[in-house]
Amino acid sequence: MACMLHAAQRPNILFILGDNWRWPTAGVLGDPMARTPAFDRVVREGVLFRHTFNVVPSCSPSRATMLTGRYAHELGERASLWSAFPQDTPVVTQMLRDAGYELGYSGKPWAPGNAEVSGWKENPVGPKHASFEAFHGKRTPGKPFFFWLGNTATATRGGRLDFVKVAQDAGLDAGAITVPPELPDCAEVRQDLLNYYGGVLKLDEEAARALAVLEGAGELAETVVVYTADNGWQMPRGLANCYDAGSRVPLAVRWGGRLKAGREVDAFVSLGDLGPTFLELAGIAPPAVMTMRSIKGLLLGESEAFVRDAVFIERERHADVRRDHLGYPVRAIRTRDFLYVRNLRPDRWPAGDPDVFFIHGRPFGDVDTTRVKDFLLAHWEEPAVAGRFALIFGKRPAEELYDLRNDPHQIRNVAGSAEFAVALGRLRKRVEEWMRETGDPRFDPAYEGWDGLPYYGRPSVRE
C-alpha cells in the first residue's frame, strides 16, 4: 500500500480548467487583448510552464487523460468524444477520495460523454456543486479537498456572441486584435475573437473569485492552485486539430511558499501529467499503469526532475460527422523546432464530410459553428479565401512537417522538402516507437476499432 502523507500535510487542490483556452491568450504571456489578472497572479506568485500541450485536442478525451494519467489510445473508447467511461483503470479523483480527500466540481467535468452507461452514479470527477464558493461553504472542516472548477466561458456556445459586450465594456476593440494568418482578416473573425476575449475575461473572473474564497478563509497558502485549459481555442484549425492552436495551452501553478515565485519551466509537459502529479502532491504513489509522468519535481525545481524534450499528441473520432461513423485518426509529436503530424487515414476529410450536415445544419462538423466558419463556407471560391478554406477544411497528406523556427503558425508543410528529410525521418521514427512502446492499436495499420464504438451524442443527420 502506498505511503500517504498525514492529513495535516496534504494540500488542498483547486484545479481551474478553462474550456478551449489557447496559449498565449493571457496578459502575462504578452497578449494585450487578454485581461487575466488572476492567471497573471498565479504566474507571479507561482510557476509558469511555457510548453504545455494536451494529449488530445478534444474535450472528453483530454479530460480522460488527466483523470487517468494515461495516453488516450490506452483508454479504449475514451479516446473519442461522447464516449462511455469504463471502470477498468484507476481514476485520480477516486484515488484521492479513497485517501481522504473531499471531492467536488462546478461547471464542466468529464464531458461530453455517458458515464452512467459504465455504471457511474456520478461524474468521474466527483459530485456537482453550484460553484466553488458553494462547495467551500459546506465542506468538512480540516479535510483536504480536490475541487475541479470547469469554466466554459471561452467556448463558442454554438456561434452565439455572448461575451462581445463584456469585451467592449472592458475597453477591448475588435480593430486592435491581431488575426492569426490561418484565418481571414474580416469583420466576422474579429467579432468571434472579441467574443473569445470576453470569455477569457469571464474565465479569469471566476478564477479570481475562487482565489478570494481561499484567501478569505486563510487557506490559500496551503492550497495547490493549478490553472490551465483542456484544449486550444474553438476557432477553425484549433479544437480537434493537433496544431498548436488546438493543443497548446497555458499552465501555471501556485502553492504558497512551497514554490519559488515567478519561476518559469521551459520543459515540455502534457496535461496527462497532471493526474499522477495530483496524486504525488497528496502523497500517493501513482500506480504503475499510469504512463504519464508527475511534474511535481519540475514544480519544486528539483534538479533530478525529468526533462521532456517533446510531447505526443493524438486524436480519434471527435464529432460523429462522417459517413459510417468514421473518425480521423492522427498521431503527432511536437518538439521545440518541429511539429510532425501523421494522418493515418488521409483519404478521409479531416474536418468532417462536406455533405454530412450534423452540427447546426452545417458541413465539416469537426469545425464548430462560428461566424468565421460561416464566412468561409459562403466565400470559399473567392481567391482571397480559397487558400485558407483548403487549409482548414481540405484533405491532408499522410505526413505533415512544420518548421516552427520559420513557421510558428504551422501553415507551410515542408514534409516533401529534401532540406527537411532527416528531421522528417527522425520524427516519424519517434512516433512509431512511441506507438509501439505504449501499445497503440493503431500501430497495426489495418486497425479500425474506434470507428465501431458507440457515440452517445445526438444521432447524425445524413443528407
**How would you class 36 by CB atoms within 10 Å of its CB: exposed for 0-12, middle for 13-18, buried for 19 or more?**
buried
Per-residue pLDDT at 460: 46
Q: What are phi and psi of 228, to 5 degrees?
A: -155, -160
Tell whether the model's pLDDT for residue 201 goes beyond 90: yes
pLDDT in tens, 95-152: 999 999 999 999 999 999 999 999 999 999 999 999 999 999 999 998 999 999 999 9
Q: What is the mean pLDDT of residues 31-60?
A: 98
Residue corresponding to grid cell 498521431? 331
- pLDDT, position 304: 74
Per-residue pLDDT, 197: 98
pLDDT above 70: residue 3: no
Report whether 79 contacts 56 (CB < 8 A): yes
For residue 299, what are the β-bridge partners?
none
Of 31, 203, 15, which is closest to residue 126 (Cα–Cα)?
Answer: 15
pLDDT of res. 359: 72
Residue 339 burial (10 A CB sphere; 0-12, 13-18, 19+): buried
Residue ranges with strand state E in 234-370 = 251-254, 263-270, 310-315, 330-335, 338-343
Name the grid cell of 201.
475575461
CA gap 437, 78 in Å, rounded: 20
Count the neighbouring beta carbons within 10 Å of the beta carbon of residue 326: 19
Distance CA 143, CA 97 (A): 11
DSSP code of residue 161: -
Share of the chain above pLDDT 90, in %: 92
Q: Quick one: pLDDT at residue 117?
A: 97
Eight-state DSSP code of residue 255? B
Evaluate whether 100 touches 145 at the Cβ level (below 8 Å).
no
Task: Give the pLDDT of residue 4.
Answer: 53
Q: Does domain 10-308 have CATH number 3.40.1160.10?
A: no
pLDDT > 50? residue 2:
no
Gap between the Cα atoms of 153 and 143, Å rounded: 30
Predicted confidence at residue 245, as pLDDT, reads: 98
DSSP annotation of 354: T
Q: List where CATH 3.40.720.10 sits in the chain.
A: 10-308
Q: Determine the average pLDDT of the residues in 315-323.
A: 95
State phi, psi for 375 to the nearest 5 degrees. Answer: -65, -45
* Statement: residue 444 has pLDDT above 60: yes
pLDDT tens for 235-291 read: 999 999 999 999 999 999 999 999 999 999 999 999 999 999 999 999 999 999 999
Q: Quick check: 242 and 57 in contact, CB under 8 A?
A: yes
Residues 66 and 54: their CA atoms lie apart, in Å, by 9
Tens digit of pLDDT for each residue in 322-351? 999 999 999 999 999 999 999 999 999 999
pLDDT for residue 356: 85
Taking the C-alpha atoms of residue 282 and residue 255, their distance in angstroms, rounded to an integer, is: 13
pLDDT at res. 337: 98
How many Å apart are CA 447 and CA 335, to the nearest integer? 27
For residues 400-426, average pLDDT: 98
Cα(135)–Cα(150) distance, integer angstroms: 14
252 Cβ contact list (under 8 Å, min separation 6): 39, 42, 43, 46, 47, 48, 49, 227, 228
- Dig out the grid coordinates for 429 from the structure: 521514427
Considering only CA atoms, give the Rg of the chain.
21
Question: What element of type H or E holds 83?
Answer: strand 83-84
Please give the pLDDT value at position 373. Answer: 96
Cα separation, 457 vs 308, in Å, equals 36
Average pLDDT over every residue of 37-62: 98
Q: Containing H/E element for 380?
A: none
Q: What is the pLDDT of residue 438?
A: 98
Distance CA 164, CA 327 (A): 34
H helix or E strand, kind and range, residue 168: helix 164-169
282 phi, psi to nearest 5 deg? -90, 5
**What burial class does residue 219 get, using C-beta atoms within 10 Å of its C-beta: 0-12 exposed, 13-18 middle, 19+ buried?**
middle
Rounded mean pLDDT, 375-393 = 96
The confidence score (pLDDT) of residue 461 equals 40
Look at residues 204, 218, 213, 93 and name the one whose alpha carbon lies nearest to residue 146: 93
- Distance, in Å, from the CA atom of 229 to the CA atom of 25, rounded to the nearest integer, reads 11
Domain with CATH 3.30.1120 in the chain: 313-443
Q: Please state the rounded mean pLDDT for residues 174-179.
A: 97
Cα of 74 vs its chain's centroid, Å? 18
Cα separation of 226 and 295, whole Å? 12
Domain 313-443 CATH class label: alpha beta
4-18, 107-121, 156-170, 185-199: range with lowest mean pLDDT: 4-18
34 touches 250 (CB < 8 A): no
Query: Distance between CA 342 and CA 111 in Å, rounded?
Result: 27
Average pLDDT over the chain reads 95
Average pLDDT over residues 33-39: 98
